[in-house]
Structures are given as structure tokens and as C-alpha cells.
């Protein structure tokens, strides 16, 4: 039995310990104060009572708590109690008072209600059986003993039914609590796994939108500078200078990512400045004019909204440079009363959005827009350019 269930049984253990202790004590006092018995009978009956109490402490408590249940153990326990009670009863009928403690134990110790009732019947029948066997019974006393036995059995069965109901209820509640705790543990594990997965996705998006894009730009700039070395050193130095600046920005982004800080582009200025610098750097690195415009009344935005808009702009411009074969790109930031909209448009080759499975870039942009509570729309057609629009609430 689990610790939880043992605790459920232990709630009423103090009451029952006190009840059994008081009952045993009163029975012992009744035996010691009884008249009409010899000193030897008084001593034997008292020793039997003490042995019952010790037997309960040794094994009865364990069975009552259902810690190590078993038919053999409960039969041994109740059988020894029965024998001790019979011995005491042969010495004095005053010992019958102890049935108030022995009958409830049958229902706590026995594993089934039927077995408990059987032991209760035997315990309550012992006084009549002993009186008959010893020849100390008279007709009137026999009727009294039978009546007392019947009443004792009836009371014990009713009391035992109540005890059994409490036991079953405690078991059901303990099982329910264990199931709830198991479910809570499973949910906690699922939440941890979900958190780990979300963090991995976040890091993947951050790395893809910042460090990976920066490295791709550096590689392209170095490749563009190599043919110019010895032929046009000024152009080569220009490409290498842009590559160095991109590397420094990449390093700043990497440090911000590790420290979970604000993106480096936003740390040194407003969102408008960051988007303007991004458009200028794109034009310088790829010889692609990128025009940046702002519409509406400029106002501070939540950091989460700024990060979404910046990352979507980075990815959209990177896609223009990689795939669009465009001659110009436009970045338009529009401040509305309750939202901000960013549109990145190009005059390139375009594509059919329905025919594209969606690479990591498109999935990442949609994911970022969703994280900020916004929406992302892609409009394009072959030969008609592409427009990527993200709108986030503010």
C-alpha cells in the first residue's frame, strides 16, 4: 500500500487506539474486581487480556492499516485472539465485556465482509459454548446468553457494515487521489516537453533569422570580393568592409541570443531605425535597392511586437535576395490605431503560394506572427512579384 493510502488509514488510528486501550483497561478492571472467582482464575483471565493487547500491538495494527494484507495473516491473528478469549472466558464470564473491542477488529483485520461476519459469530458464540461445556449453565442463563449473542452479532454486523463502507470509501478516495497525482505528473511531464520543444523552435527561428542569415551574407560578400582582388581593389575592400560589419552584427546577435536580450538591431535604436538600417544593409550587400517608408503616427511598441516585425522583415528581405531576382524591394511600416502593419514587396519573379510546401522561412514567419497575436499574408503570382504582410496588434 502506498504512503498516500497509509495516510488515509492513519487519520482515524488515534481514535481506535484510544478506544481499544480504554476497552482493554475496563475489561481488566472488571476481571480484577469480579467476585466469586479464585485468584488463579483472576490471574489467568488477566494474563489472557494482556496477551490480547500485546497481540493487537504486534499484528493487529498492521492488519488494520492494510499494509500487508493476507488471508493467512488475518486468520492467524483472529484465531489467536479467539483462543485467548476462550481461555479467559473459561476463567470468568466477566471477560465478555472485551467483545466490544474484539468484534470491530474482525472487520478491520478480515479482508472480506463475509469472513469478518463469520469471526464475529464465533466470538459472540463462545460465552454460550464455554458455559455449556463447563456445565455452569442454567436454562435461564442459556436464554440470556443466546439473546446477548444475537444482539451482539446484530450490533457488530451493523457496525461492521458502517466500518466497511468507510473503508471502501477511503480506498476509493485514495485511489482517486493517486490517479489525480499520476495525471498531474503526466501533465507536468507533457508541459516540460512542450516547453523544451517550444524553446527549441524559438532558438531555431532566432538562429535562422539572425546568425544563419548573417553567415550567408558574409559568404556571399567574400565570394563577391574574391574576383575583384587585384582587379578592382576598391570594390574588394568595399565588399570585405560590409562583410566585417555583418560579422560584427552577427556577433552582437549571437551574444544577445545567448543572454536572451533584446535583438541587437533594436538595442541601439527604435524599430524604425532598425528597419531602415536593415534595408540599407540589404541594398549594400546584394546590390538591391531597398526602399524603406513609414506611414502613420510613430509610437513606441511592445518589445514582443517589435521583435516579430523585425524578424519577419529580415526573413522576407533574405527571401527576396535569394529567390526573387528582383530589381527593387520596398519596406513599408504602417502605424494604425490598434495595430502595426509591415509589408515587404518586390518586383521579382514571383511564385504560386499554393504550389509551395513552405520552407522553414515561411513557417518561421507565420509562427512569429502567431506568437505576437498577429497574422501573416503572402501574395504572389509568377511574374508579378511578391508581397509579404504581417500585422500585429498593439
Beta strands in 287-381 (DSSP E): 290-295, 329-335, 339-346, 375-380
Cα separation, 9 vs 367, whole angstroms: 52
Q: Are residues 295 and 343 in contact, defined by beta-carbon separation less than 8 angstroms?
A: no
Cα separation, 257 vs 207, whole angstroms: 8
Please name every residue paired with 388 in a beta bridge, in sequence order, or none if there are none: 344, 378
pLDDT tens for 77-135 read 999 999 999 999 888 888 888 888 888 888 888 878 888 888 888 888 888 888 787 77
Phi, psi of 225, deg, nearest 5: -80, -30
pLDDT tens for 179-227 read 888 888 888 777 777 766 776 676 777 676 667 777 777 887 788 888 8
Residues of the chain with pLDDT under 70: 1-12, 65-70, 136-145, 163, 167, 195-196, 199-200, 202, 206, 208-210, 256-268, 357-360
Supply the pTM of this predicted model: 0.43
Residues 6+ apart with CB under 8 A from 367: 201, 205
**Cα 101 to Cα 81, 93, 108, 168, 208, distances in angstroms:** 11, 16, 11, 21, 76
Residues 6+ apart with CB under 8 A from 389: 341, 342, 343, 344, 376, 377, 378, 379
| Neighbouring C-alpha atoms within 13 Å toward the C-beta of 66 | 21
Give the pLDDT confidence score for residue 372 in this predicted structure. 81
Domain covering 270-394 assigned CATH 3.40.50.2300 in the classification: no
Query: Which residues make up the CATH 3.30.565.10 domain(s) of the chain?
Result: 270-394
Give the pLDDT confidence score for residue 81 in this predicted structure. 92
Q: Are residues 344 and 388 in contact, defined by beta-carbon separation less than 8 angstroms?
A: yes
Give the pLDDT confidence score for residue 333 in this predicted structure. 94
Amino acid at each position: 500500500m502506498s504512503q498516500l493510502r497509509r495516510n488515509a488509514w492513519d487519520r482515524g488510528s488515534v481514535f481506535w487506539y484510544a478506544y481499544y486501550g480504554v476497552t482493554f483497561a475496563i475489561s481488566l478492571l472488571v476481571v480484577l474486581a469480579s467476585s466469586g472467582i479464585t485468584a488463579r482464575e483472576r490471574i489467568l483471565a488477566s494474563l489472557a487480556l494482556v496477551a490480547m493487547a500485546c497481540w493487537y500491538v504486534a499484528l493487529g495494527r498492521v492488519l488494520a492499516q492494510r499494509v500487508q494484507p493476507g488471508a493467512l495473516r488475518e486468520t492467524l491473528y483472529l484465531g489467536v485472539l479467539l483462543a485467548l478469549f476462550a481461555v479467559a472466558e473459561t476463567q470468568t464470564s466477566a471477560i465478555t465485556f472485551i467483545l466490544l473491542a474484539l468484534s470491530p477488529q474482525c472487520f478491520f483485520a478480515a479482508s472480506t465482509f463475509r469472513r469478518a461476519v463469520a469471526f464475529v459469530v464465533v466470538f459472540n458464540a463462545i460465552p454460550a459454548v464455554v458455559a455449556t461445556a463447563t456445565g455452569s449453565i442454567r436454562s435461564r442463563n442459556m436464554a440470556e446468553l443466546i439473546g446477548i449473542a444475537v444482539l451482539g452479532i446484530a450490533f457488530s454486523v451493523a457496525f461492521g457494515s458502517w466500518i466497511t463502507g468507510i473503508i471502501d470509501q477511503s480506498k476509493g478516495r485514495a485511489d482517486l487521489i493517486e490517479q489525480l497525482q499520476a495525471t498531474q505528473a503526466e501533465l507536468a511531464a507533457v508541459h516540460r516537453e512542450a516547453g523544451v520543444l517550444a524553446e527549441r523552435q524559438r532558438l531555431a527561428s532566432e538562429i535562422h533569422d539572425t546568425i544563419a542569415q548573417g553567415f550567408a551574407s558574409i559568404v556571399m560578400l567574400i565570394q563577391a570580393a574574391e574576383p575583384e582582388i587585384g582587379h578592382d581593389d576598391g570594390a574588394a575592400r568595399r565588399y570585405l568592409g560590409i562583410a566585417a560589419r555583418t560579422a560584427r552584427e552577427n556577433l552582437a546577435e549571437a551574444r544577445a541570443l545567448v543572454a536572451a536580450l533584446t535583438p541587437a538591431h533594436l538595442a541601439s535604436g527604435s524599430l524604425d531605425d532598425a528597419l531602415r538600417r536593415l534595408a540599407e544593409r540589404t541594398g549594400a550587400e546584394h546590390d538591391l535597392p531597398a526602399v524603406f517608408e513609414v506611414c502613420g503616427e510613430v509610437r513606441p511598441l511592445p518589445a514582443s511586437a517589435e521583435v516579430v516585425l523585425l524578424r519577419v522583415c529580415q526573413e522576407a528581405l533574405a527571401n527576396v535576395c535569394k529567390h526573387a531576382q528582383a530589381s527593387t524591394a520596398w519596406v513599408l511600416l504602417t502605424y494604425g490605431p490598434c495595430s502595426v502593419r509591415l509589408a515587404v514587396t518586390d518586383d521579382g519573379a514571383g511564385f504560386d503560394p499554393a504550389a509551395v510546401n513552405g520552407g522553414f522561412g515561411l513557417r518561421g514567419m507565420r509562427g512569429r506572427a502567431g506568437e505576437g497575436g498577429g497574422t501573416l499574408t503572402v501574395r504572389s503570382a509568377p511574374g508579378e512579384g511578391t508581397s509579404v504582410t504581417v500585422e500585429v496588434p498593439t
